[in-house]
Amino acid sequence: MAKSKVLVVGGTGYIGKRIVKASLAQGHITYVLQRREMGLDIDKIQMLLSFKKQGARLIQGSFSDHQSLVDAVKQVDVVICTMSGVHFRSHNILLQLKLVDAIKEAGNIKRFIPSEFGTDPSRMGHALEPGRVTFDEKMRVRRAIEDAKIPFTYVTANCFAGYFAGNLSQMGTLMPPRDKVTIYGDGNVKVVYMDEDDIGLYTIKTIDDPRTLNKTLNIRPPENILSQRELVEKWEKLIGKELQKISFSQEDFLASMKGLDFASQVGVGHFYHFFYEGCLTNFEIGEEGEEASELYPDVKYTRMDEYLKLYL
C-alpha cells in the first residue's frame, strides 16, 4: 500500500518539527504549511528551508484565506496539526476550527490528527480554572471534527521530557537542580515522561494504521511511567549525589496560584492535575484507545535515565 501524503500545520513548532522529521524518515511525501503570517520570523523561515533541503515540500496557506487551506489540504491524504496550545508561548487551539472547515470542504482527507499531544481532554471535565480552558478548547475542536465526520486519531503524549523530565519537574526552569529539589506532595504519584522525538515517531506510525482510526493513541510506554521521586532518583544516581527534598503540600501548591499572571495560573493548575491528582495514569485505556508501545513494539523509545544523561 502506498504511504500517505502528509501535511503538517505548525511544522516549525516544538512538536511540529519532530513530526516533520519523523514523516520524512518514514518515507512519506511530506508537505509543510508555509503560513503567510510568518512575515520576518527568520528562525521559522530558515527552519522551513531546512525541511525543504531534507525533502519536504512547502505549500503556502493562511488561516485568513479559507480557499488556500482547502487547496493545501487537497494535495494530501493526512493532515497533522501541531499548533501551540500553551499560554506562555502562543495559544492557537481554536484556529484549528478553520482547518476543520477546510478539511470538511476538501472531502479527501483519510486521517486528521489535531493539536493535542498532552493530556486527554475528554478526561479533564473537572479541571481547575483557569487551566481548564486548554482542555475545553480541545474538546470544542474534537466535537467539530466528529460533527463533520472527519476520520481522526487523537494523540495524548503526556509530559514532554524537555519541559518535565530534564528539570525534574521543577517549575520556572528547564535544567535539573544539583542541590535541592521541590517534591509535589509525597512525590509518589505516577506520571508519564516522553522524549519528543518518540512522540513524533509514534504519531506518524498511526496515520496508515487502521487500528488507530477514530481512536485515541495513548503514548504511555511502561518504563516511562514514573513518579517524580523515581525520576529524581535516576538523576541522583547519575550525579552520584542525594538532593535535599523539599515537600510542597497540595494546599500550599494551590495557594501559590494566587497573584500569578494568567499563563502561570494555567501552569500551576496543570501541574496540580499531573502531580497531585495523577490524571495521566489514574485510568485504564479502554476500547476507545490504544497504547503506543503495544501497537509499535519496534520503536525503541527513550528511557528517562538515558534522557537525563544529556544534562550531565
**Active site amino acids:** 138
Grid coordinates 503540600 are at which residue? 249
**Cα–Cα distance for residue pair 219/157, rounded to 1 Å:** 5
**Cα–Cα distance for residue pair 202/171, rounded to 1 Å:** 27
**Structural contact between residues 17 and 57, judged by C-beta atoms closer than 8 angstroms:** no
**Cα–Cα distance for residue pair 134/63, rounded to 1 Å:** 20
- Joined together, the cell numbers standing for residue 73 give 489540504
- Joined together, the cell numbers standing for residue 92 give 492557537
**Structural contact between residues 46 and 222, judged by C-beta atoms closer than 8 angstroms:** no
- Joined together, the cell numbers standing for residue 214 give 477514530
Number of H helices, E strands in the chain: 12, 13
Number of C-beta neighbours around residue 65 at 10 A: 14
**Cα–Cα distance for residue pair 50/69, rounded to 1 Å:** 23
Burial of 168 (C-beta count, 10 Å sphere; 0-12/13-18/19+): buried
**Structural contact between residues 162 and 225, judged by C-beta atoms closer than 8 angstroms:** no
**Cα–Cα distance for residue pair 155/114, rounded to 1 Å:** 8
Of residues 44, 150, 54, 58, the one with CA closest to residue 96 = 150
Tell me which amino acid residue 76 is: V
Angstrom CA distances, 33 to 59, 77, 197, 209, stand at 5, 14, 20, 24
